């Protein structure tokens, strides 16, 4: 699985890619707060560790319902009533993109397959491209040196991509302004 810092920077990057001139501002932080919340929303299934006594069983059920594309299709029309992006079709596009990117990031890691098409298919997608951190409900794993190293590496890579996208967006919006002035 990807860790929270990696998901957060990915969500922020998507929000910047789709941002219009009004949203591309530090003063409009609510758009970016919501992007971070959305980027972590699929991991709401972490609560399974609290209700399923067997951690290994809970781990098997994770990355199914709340990480599936049909779930995102169902939940997105509900989310647009609370999310700040306007108009609604654009809000739906941004929310759906951030949620889907979360699942894509998760399936890049070893041993953490994602059931993208649940409930229509139980096929698990897993590319095993990156080494994994298995928290499996044990929050102590988060403060282990290897996990901290992993979090920092993921966060730094995410931050570099975010900064590059911000620079490109800034240039694009400035270019548009010059073209219309
Ligand atoms: Zn996840």
Interatomic CA distance for residues 56 and 19, integer angstroms: 41
Distance 157 CA to ligand 1 centre (A): 18
Interatomic CA distance for residues 1 and 5, integer angstroms: 12
Distance 87 CA to ligand 1 centre (A): 28
Within its chain, how far is the Cα of 86 from the centroid? 20
Residue of 101, 79, 97, 98 lying closest to 88 (CA atoms): 79
Q: How many domains does the chain have?
A: 1
Distance 66 CA to ligand 1 centre (A): 8
**Predicted confidence (pLDDT) per residue in 64-122, tens digit:** 999 999 999 999 999 999 999 999 999 999 999 999 999 999 998 887 889 999 999 99
pLDDT band for 142, please (50, 70, 90 cuts): confident
Mean per-residue pLDDT, 4-30: 93
CB 122 within 8 A of CB 143: no
Angle, alpha carbons 91-104-141 (nearest 5°): 110
What 3-state class would DSSP assign to 128?
coil
Interatomic CA distance for residues 35 and 19, integer angstroms: 11
Distance 75 CA to ligand 1 centre (A): 16
CB 154 within 8 A of CB 142: no
User: What's the domain range around 150?
Assistant: 4-180
Lowest mean pLDDT among 18-22, 39-43, 118-122, 133-137: 133-137
Distance 86 CA to ligand 1 centre (A): 27
Distance 40 CA to ligand 1 centre (A): 7
pLDDT band for 57, please (50, 70, 90 cuts): confident
Distance 166 CA to ligand 1 centre (A): 25
pTM: 0.89
Distance 102 CA to ligand 1 centre (A): 6
pLDDT band for 48, please (50, 70, 90 cuts): confident
Distance 23 CA to ligand 1 centre (A): 27
pLDDT of residue 120: 95
Residue of 63, 34, 33 lying closest to 46 (CA atoms): 63
Rounded percentage of the chain residues whose pLDDT exceeds 70: 97
pLDDT of residue 100: 97
Distance 169 CA to ligand 1 centre (A): 28
pLDDT of residue 1: 59
Residue of 68, 70, 46 lying closest to 59 (CA atoms): 46
Distance 103 CA to ligand 1 centre (A): 6
Residue 138 or 28, more confident: 28
CB 133 within 8 A of CB 146: yes
pLDDT of residue 179: 59
Distance 128 CA to ligand 1 centre (A): 15
Burial class of residue 10, CB neighbours in 10 A (0-12, 13-18, 19+): buried
Burial class of residue 26, CB neighbours in 10 A (0-12, 13-18, 19+): exposed
Distance 171 CA to ligand 1 centre (A): 33
Count CB neighbours of 141 within 10 A: 13
pLDDT at 180 > cutoff 70:
no
């Amino acid at each position: 699985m990807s860790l929270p810092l990696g998901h957060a920077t990915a969500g922020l990057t998507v929000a910047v890619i789709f941002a219009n001139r009004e949203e591309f501002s530090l003063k409009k932080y609510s758009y970016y707060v919501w992007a971070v919340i959305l980027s972590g929303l699929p991991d709401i299934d972490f609560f399974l560790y609290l209700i399923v006594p067997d951690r290994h069983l809970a781990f098997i059920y994770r990355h199914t319902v709340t990480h599936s594309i049909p779930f995102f299709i169902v939940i997105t029309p509900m989310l647009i009533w609370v999310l700040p992006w306007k108009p609604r079709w654009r809000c739906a596009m941004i929310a759906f993109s951030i949620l889907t990117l979360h699942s894509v990031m998760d399936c890049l890691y070893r041993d953490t397959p994602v059931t993208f098409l649940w409930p229509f298919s139980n096929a698990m997608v897993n590319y095993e491209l990156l080494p994994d951190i298995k928290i499996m409900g044990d929050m102590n794993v988060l403060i282990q040196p290897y996990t901290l190293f992993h979090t920092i590496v993921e966060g730094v890579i995410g931050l570099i991509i975010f900064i590059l996208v911000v620079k490109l967006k800034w240039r694009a919006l400035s270019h548009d302004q010059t073209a219309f002035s």
